[in-house]
Amino acid sequence: MYQIHLGIPEMEELWNRLCAKHKDGSANKDEEKLRSKMGKAMRHLAENPRYPGLHSHEITALTARYGQRVWESYLENDTPKAGRIFWCYGPNQGDITIIGLEPHPDDKSNAYRKVTLSSTGKEIL
Domain residue ranges of the chain, discontinuous segments joined by +: 3-103
Classify strands 3-6 and 95-103 as parallel, antiparallel or unpaired. Answer: parallel
The answer to whether 86 touches 72, Cβ cutoff 8 Å, is yes
pLDDT in the model for residue 110:
62
pLDDT at 116 over 60: yes
Reported as a single tens digit per residue, the pLDDT across 44-92 is 999 999 999 999 999 998 999 888 999 999 998 777 667 899 999 998 9
Output the CA–CA distances (angstroms, integers) from residue 12 to 35, 44, 57, 63, in the order listed. Answer: 12, 18, 23, 21
Asked: is 3-103 a CATH 3.30.2310.20 domain? The reply is yes
Mean pLDDT of 12-36: 95
The answer to whether 30 touches 36, Cβ cutoff 8 Å, is no
3-state secondary structure of 46: helix
pLDDT at 123 over 60: no
pLDDT at 125 over 70: no
Reported as a single tens digit per residue, the pLDDT across 90-114 is 989 999 999 999 876 665 656 677 6
CA dihedral (57, 61, 64, 69) in degrees, to 10, reads -20
Question: What are the phi and psi torsion angles at 51 (to 5°)?
Answer: -50, 130
